[in-house]
Structure 1
Amino acid sequence: MTLMILAVCAFVSLLVGIIMEGWPKGAHDGLGIVASILLVVFVTAISDYRQSLQFKDLDREKKKITVQVTRDRQRQKISIYDLVPGDIVHLSIGDQVPADGLFVLGFSLLINESSLTGESEPAHVNSENPFLLSGTKVQDGSCKMLVTTVGMRTQWGKLMATLSEGGDDETPLQVKLNGVATIIGKLGLFFAAVTFAVLVQGLFSRKLKEGSHWSWSGDDALEMLEFFAVAVTIVVVAVPEGLPLAVTLSLAFAMKKMMHDKALVRHLAACETMGSATSICSDKTGTLTTNSMTVVKACICGKIKEVSSSEETSSFCSGIPDFAVRILLQSIFNNTGGEIVTNKDNKTEILGTPTEAALLKFGLLLGGDFQAERQASKLVKVEPFNSAKKRMGVVLEIPGGGFRAHSKGASEIVLASCDKVIDSNGDVVPLNEASFNHLKDTIERFASEALRTLCLAYMELGSEFSAESPLPSKGYTCIGIVGIKDPVRPGVKESVAICRSAGISVRMVTGDNINTAKAIARECGILTDEGIAIEGPVFREKSEEELQKLIPKIQVMARSSPLDKHILVKHLRTTLEEVVAVTGDGTNDAPALHEADIGLAMGIAGTEVAKESADVIIMDDNFSTIVTVGKWGRSIYINIQKFVQFQLTVNIVALIVNFSSACLTGNAPLTAVQLLWVNMIMDTLGALALATEPPTDDLMKRSPVGRKENFISNVMWRNIIGQSLYQFVVIWFLQTRGKAFFHLDGPDSDLILNTIIFNSFVFCQVTYTRLLYLEVLP
């Protein structure tokens, strides 16, 4: 609207000027306003265009989704955009269905179709109801799907074709700044109206003194037009329309740079909010650790053995009965969601989660043959792993008749379902107290060495089992305990220390055994002497009053369920009023990611559901990258504070100078073209200079901003008021004493003085910008 008013003002100025003074003298002011308008428009347009290109790049990165398919009899990873009808897609819990297709083979498959149908109840998909639609999500189970339709021909594609892509929501900071801009704009409108009224009143008074109030010339019309132009430009200068541009530039610049630092920002607000974070609830696996798991210890038939990749099979298997090795290999190769394939280069590749891959690698080390084991028995039923049961199971039809169930999962849970064990002779014997205590001590010992433990068990079912029957929950025979090592990532301990010095508390929330969690947390520097570690079942039994006292001290939560993580985050945000960032990679992390102020999903290990619930995707799954995101967030906040400080000072000085001068002397020293020029420079180049400054390590030595701190701090008000007074005094001195000080005399003295005033005003801004850029002013 302001540009439209200025355009009308420029047209009238050109028309009256050319009629009264001729071309080109009469067109100077009008053309100056036109030039300023064009510059503002083109600079904004170019900036918006560049920003749109950046968002296209970000969108392209966001769409880099891979799926596992069987094609040309090979299981392989391909881009979702390379899917074609006829591909067999492998889906598991948390995956998004990438195309329309038909159910081929699967177990306990539940599909969440709420994104398409709005139905909250999941649909059971099987051979009787075989249709799978793109955009839906796998809530439970696993399957293989035959792709029938891809792209815009799918149901999801047809739905997307009817929607126009919406713009990005304004960030909380933009909302605050736009509120400030609105208030200043109203003040500017008031000052503009008063200035115009005072100038017009001065003209009328002069005409009355001259006795020519009834006779008006073209010069008088031009003077009235100049008064109107000054009033309009006071509004233009008063409204800090450069603030949205500065915020956008700063966020777009930060988002682009963060891409190089392995962080993909999905929502603009996350950039600035991360700078205010006071607490990080981090997952363990893949974030604090490398997520490249290896079995390093195992307890089979009561014997604890070290596992080395260089070790010969005979060395590990010595002393272990053949029956125990056979049943162990059958459990490893059949009770798994992973797979071992041979690629085109005849190299063996292990597909699946890191835990599954570690067990499969262990099976190969024992001399097992994956394909032979899979073909030796028929898979009858699969109950995939989920976070509630913390175990998974399968039922096999054994050659010669009968069925056998295999179970694996969290050691304490699976061991509690066992009443028998394989002894050192390979015989199945009752699990007595001594054997139970030995296995329990082994679990604690492995956990204290920062090993993730899994218990493997089996059960003979006889010939009465039906595929519709659920897996038994008791009566299993314990095969053994395996300890899986997941090394802590390099640099995590240093990153946690940086967070502490920055006033950000780090908590580890994991589904692992509490001893494993404590060992890893100490190694990372998360668990201190003052903090406590707690298990999920204990946490969820606490009352509201107990939680309020307990949560500030919690540094580790082990054996946590998705609900525990959600409750912890909710209490931190609402009760303690902290700004909370949460990391996660699984479907079970989605509620906590959604509840947090900033959700950080893992780009490598993360499921599509987790990524969709997150604000930032950590492309390398590294905790150090989270610290980098926090550093950029703080940089954005401080950069915009600098720009606001700079622009409000300019606005206040321009308003006071023109208003006071108009009221006292009847003319404004800063003309319309001059104010427009300053406004353009301050909105564009000032924003570029101050809003795109990269972060420094010193930013992580400051305390976080928090949720309730005012955006314009007391120090900023001090600088704004101090600089405004200083600049006003300089300009007022030049206006009242300038002619005498510079010995100006003659017909052009007013013009020369106004030029000096304008240049002094500009140099004041240049000096002020430099002080802010060099951080001389806090």
Structure 2
Amino acid sequence: MVTAISDYKQSLQFRDLDREKKKIFIQVTRDGQRQKVCTYDLVVGDIVHLSIGDQVPAYGIFISGHSLLIDESSLSGQSEPRYMYEENPFLLAGTKVQGGSGKMLVTTVGMRTEWGKLMETLNEGGEDETPLQVKLNGVATIIGKIELFFSVLEFLVLIGRFLGEKVIHNEFTDWSSADALTLIDYFAVVVTIIDVAVPEGLPLAVTLSLAFAMKKLMNDGALVRHLSACETMGSASCICTDKTRMLTTNHMVVDKIWIANTISNVEGNNRKDILQSEISERVLDITLQAIFQNTGSKVVKDKDGKNSILGTPTESAILEFGLRLGGDFEAQRREFKIVKVEPFNSVRKKMSVLIALPAGGMRAFCKGASEIVLSMCDKVVSDNGEPVPLSEEQFRNITDVINGFASEALRTLCLAFKDLNDSSNENNIPDSGYTLIAVVGIKDPVRPGVKEAVQTCLEAGITVRMVTGDNINTARAIAKECGILTSDGEAVEGPEFRNMSPADIIPKLQVMARSLPSDKHTLVTQLRNTFGEVVAVTGDGTNDASALHEADIGLAMGIAGTE
């Protein structure tokens, strides 16, 4: 009864979630008419209109659009969004539009997509017994064998005593109905012993304790789909976790900056004076101009009057850094008039803007991949803010700085500018002759409390493994920072993992990068079936769904599809 009531309450909660999840409508062009349809009614050949915030409902090909930026982190684990263009036209179901707009032609729907194949794995296998159920079954088996032994022994002793008395009194051949009743009484005694030895209250006690644990978890905002999961969490011997949004915040921030021949570490939230004490006011001004003028992000105020930034993670990180330096986004935009913008794309790997200066003339700003922007520069900003020629030695030193940032798993960008006196070519943004301002190192920081949580797990004898779709260098750096990757541990990529024997690699495996959903599923399956581990999996994306289902305990964050 208790179990039935608990399961009924859970089913009501998840039914409400499923009802809300299915209410997704999109704009499509079908039979020459634009109409709104449910994602479940899409067919091959529909033209889907995508805009910011939409979820890509099916697999398709990019037809047209403007700066269509797709976040694939929920499906592939890639933390960096991807621009769509003719050379890179394939859109994946389950990803989200983070910027721009566009149209796509639906090519695959339903179970034929990779997402559909992933969902098929959720139907594989049945319900496995939890560690507690295995132990309870073992205890019940032992109790049953013991009570059966003593019951049979008791019955034999009673029968032997009864027959002995018959022999002593020379009544062995004289049987009556009273003797039959006596034998029946002996059998009733044996059955009573067996019945008393069965712990009838144990299942109820276990169910009540699990129901109480489930209620506490619900009060903390955790929905428990299976009651037995409450006790399985306490038996976990291995945790496989995703990186993005699990270990890291998925909020890019500026970690280091090279400017005026100085490398500065950027930490904390109050960094207004970080550069003012090290460089001149002129260098700071040109830096803030490069940040606020050459950006595709926006600064908006919420109901409480606090600033919030809308844009891609990388753009938002640089813009947030400018605000922390004491810059005023709105004042900068009012002071300078933007003449032309060349938005970022995956081919050019840079973004450029041309502005009109209040005193006359033009100024171009460029921001993008470090190696590309640095090759466009022939000058560098000196300590006093004056452009000076970029020597070969300085070029090598700056390249070493970029490589040093990259070795720490930082995403590097260069900021540069160029003054133009001839306003007749105002529609042309130059591709060379820039002055380098700064090299910025950006990263996705580790969540507060993650290091302590990992250390607690290790002290409890629980092995923690990171499984991510990100690149191997970033994965290694984050794993070391969290305390997951040790000196005797292994970090491999998905293709390497697939080509190796599980018995050889899994015991030392601590980090797997560039992994596919099938790799996560294989790892969890091998850990459970081959190595006898009780596996817990934490995930927040559709790519984690099969591993969450296969694990002994799946901790789904419900952020991007795992629900």
Same fold, TM-score > 0.5, yes or no: yes
Task: Using the TM superposition, give the Cα deviation of residue 140 of structure 1 relative to its aligned residue in structure 2, in angstroms.
Answer: 3.0
> Could you say if the C-alpha distance between residues 192 and 554 of structure 1 is closer, same or farther in structure 2, counting changes exceeding 3 Å?
closer
1:136-193 alpha-carbon deviations (Å, 9 max, x no partner): 995334179xxxxxxxxxx9xxxxxxxxxxx987535425644764686588678768
The whole-number CA distance in structure 1 between the counterparts of 2:546 and 2:146 is 45
Partner of 2:380 in structure 1? 424
Partner of 2:516 in structure 1? 563
Contact 1:111/1:125 (CA < 8 Å) preserved in 2? no
Structure 2 residue 494 is matched with structure 1 residue 531 = no
Partner of 2:95 in structure 1? 140
The whole-number CA distance in structure 1 between the counterparts of 2:128 and 2:510 is 34
Structure 2 residue 553 is matched with structure 1 residue 608 = no
Partner of 1:544 in structure 2? 500
1:228-266 alpha-carbon deviations (Å, 9 max, x no partner): 644443443455555543443443343344456676544
Partner of 1:298 in structure 2? 257
Matches within 5 A, 1:115-194: 122=59, 138-142=93-97, 170-175=129-134, 177-178=136-137, 181=140
* Percent of matched pairs sharing the same residue: 43
Matches within 5 A, 1:35-114: 45=1, 47-48=2-3, 51-52=6-7, 56=10, 60=13, 105-106=50-51, 111=56
The whole-number CA distance in structure 1 between the counterparts of 2:19 and 2:380 is 50
Structure 2 residue 214 is matched with structure 1 residue 255 = yes
Equivalent residue letter for 1:607? I
> Could you say if the C-alpha distance between residues 140 and 485 of structure 1 is closer, same or farther in structure 2, counting changes exceeding 3 Å?
closer
Structure 2 residue 416 is matched with structure 1 residue 453 = no
Contact 1:381/1:394 (CA < 8 Å) preserved in 2? yes
State which of 502, 505, 513 in structure 1 corresponds to 2:460: 502
Contact 2:56/2:97 (CA < 8 Å) preserved in 1? no
The whole-number CA distance in structure 1 between the counterparts of 2:57 and 2:271 is 45
Instruction: Report the count of equivalent residues.
Output: 462
Matches within 5 A, 1:485-524: 492-508=450-466, 524=482
Partner of 1:68 in structure 2? none
Contact 1:531/1:554 (CA < 8 Å) preserved in 2? no
Based on CA coordinates, which of the two structures has the bigger radius of gyration? 1
Contact 1:170/1:269 (CA < 8 Å) preserved in 2? no
Contact 2:248/2:447 (CA < 8 Å) preserved in 1? yes
Structure 1 unaligned residues grouped into runs of 5+: 1-44, 66-78, 89-96, 114-121, 129-135, 145-154, 156-166, 384-388, 409-413, 459-474, 613-778
> Could you say if the C-alpha distance between residues 438 and 236 of structure 1 is closer, same or farther in structure 2, counting changes exceeding 3 Å?
farther
1:85-144 alpha-carbon deviations (Å, 9 max, x no partner): 9999xxxxxxxx99999965428987466xxxxxxxx3569999xxxxxxx995334179
State which of 292, 296, 320 in structure 2 corresponds to 1:361: 320
The whole-number CA distance in structure 2 between the counterparts of 1:380 and 1:585 is 35
Which one has a larger percent helix, Structure 1 or Structure 2?
Answer: 1
Contact 2:471/2:514 (CA < 8 Å) preserved in 1? no
Which one has a larger percent strand, Structure 1 or Structure 2?
Answer: 2
> Could you say if the C-alpha distance between residues 173 and 322 of structure 1 is closer, same or farther in structure 2, counting changes exceeding 3 Å?
same
Contact 1:419/1:431 (CA < 8 Å) preserved in 2? no
Contact 2:352/2:367 (CA < 8 Å) preserved in 1? no
The whole-number CA distance in structure 1 between the counterparts of 2:528 and 2:60 is 34
1:643-678 alpha-carbon deviations (Å, 9 max, x no partner): xxxxxxxxxxxxxxxxxxxxxxxxxxxxxxxxxxxx
The whole-number CA distance in structure 1 between the counterparts of 2:449 and 2:225 is 26
Task: Using the TM superposition, give the Cα deviation of residue 561 of structure 1 relative to its aligned residue in structure 2, in angstroms.
Answer: 1.5
Structure 2 unaligned residues grouped into runs of 5+: 28-37, 66-74, 76-91, 100-109, 111-125, 357-363, 417-431
SS in 1 for 2:272: coil
1:496-521 alpha-carbon deviations (Å, 9 max, x no partner): 44333333344455677877766665
> Could you say if the C-alpha distance between residues 561 and 175 of structure 1 is closer, same or farther in structure 2, counting changes exceeding 3 Å?
same
Task: Using the TM superposition, give the Cα deviation of residue 224 of structure 1 relative to its aligned residue in structure 2, in angstroms.
Answer: 6.8
The whole-number CA distance in structure 2 between the counterparts of 1:228 and 1:168 is 39
Structure 2 residue 296 is matched with structure 1 residue 333 = yes
> Could you say if the C-alpha distance between residues 312 and 103 of structure 1 is closer, same or farther in structure 2, counting changes exceeding 3 Å?
farther
Partner of 1:349 in structure 2? 308
1:473-515 alpha-carbon deviations (Å, 9 max, x no partner): xx9x999643346665565544444333333344455677877
Contact 1:452/1:512 (CA < 8 Å) preserved in 2? no
Q: For the aligned residues, what is the CA RMSD? A: 6.5
